Amino acid sequence: MSYQHFKVEIADKVAQVKFNRPDKANALHIEAWVEMQKIFESLSTDETVRVIVLTGEGKHFCAGIDLELLMSVNSFKAIGCSAKRSEKIRNFILELQDTITAIEKCSKPVIAAVHGGCIGGAVDIVSACDMRYSTADAYFSIKEIDLGMVADIGTLQRLPKIISSAIVSEMAYTGRKVSGKEAEKIGLVNRSFDSPDELTDGVMQVAHAIASKSPLSIRGTKEIIRFTRDHNVDDSLNYIATWNAAMLLSNDLTEAFKATMEKRAPEFED
């Protein structure tokens, strides 16, 4: 796949998606936001892909929204009608939200591998990923408070369901940097690694382990985890019963049983 602001490579059923604006610390302008949504919507239906690793080229993972994109909101001041101006701004925010939601709704697990800075809108992005790993010296910052604004594209909605709401409040109120080591301690990342090379090796081991499993089961598990996060236990139990009523008797189930009986690794269909 060829993109202008991202590198996308697929090998051994793992898609590696890399922010590719290293001269801008991988800050995302509007063209990159549009491209990112297309990438994740495409990979969601790509039968050759079973898991996605999201990382960044250069020194940093991602510096979030390009400041020029944020400043472009000032152009809405020229709209004379306050209602129309507010409508334009709301639609602009919703479009950015939709791009990040495309990561969350992607049918394949998405693993964020963070080095360097993960700043502002990048925290929104990793909050929508299924798993997060980082280098020990990486850092995470909800930077919007220092720009005189409220984070508005997912961090304040998703992060409290990942880590303590009190820690989210501290990060959001102060804008301070949370190191990779601290991120591991508070549960923001699954694990921190001493170097970028170790991060890459560790994340790819996880990615290949996921890619070896039943694709149907992995997609279903992601769907159920996401549903359960937003619903009560009774609704979630009812949903998984309905899901498995439709999906349980699959070729993947048959292959898993055969492989166990034959004492070999299963080979699942794409």
Answer whether 44's CB lies under 8 Å from 107's CB: yes
Which position among 121, 154, 180, 220 bears the catalytic label?
A: 121
Residue 201 is among the residues annotated as catalytic for this protein:
no
Which position among 66, 124, 130, 252 bears the catalytic label?
A: 124
Whose CA is closest to 216, among 245, 247, 240?
Answer: 247
Residue 89 is among the residues annotated as catalytic for this protein:
no
Those residues whose C-beta lies under 8 Å from the C-beta of residue 167, and which sit 6 or more positions away, are 186
Whose CA is closest to 131, among 192, 77, 80, 173?
Answer: 192
Strand order in the sheet with 14-19: 6-11, 14-19, 51-56, 110-114, 131-135, 191-193
Residue 152 is among the residues annotated as catalytic for this protein:
yes
| Axis crossing angle, helix 215-229 with helix 251-261, rounded to the nearest 10 | 120
Which position among 66, 144, 184, 252 bears the catalytic label?
A: 144
Whose CA is closest to 164, among 183, 180, 146?
Answer: 183
* Coil, strand or helix at 119: strand
Which position among 41, 95, 137, 152 bears the catalytic label?
A: 152
Residue 57 is among the residues annotated as catalytic for this protein:
no
Residue 184 is among the residues annotated as catalytic for this protein:
no
Q: Which residues are catalytic?
A: 65, 121, 124, 144, 152
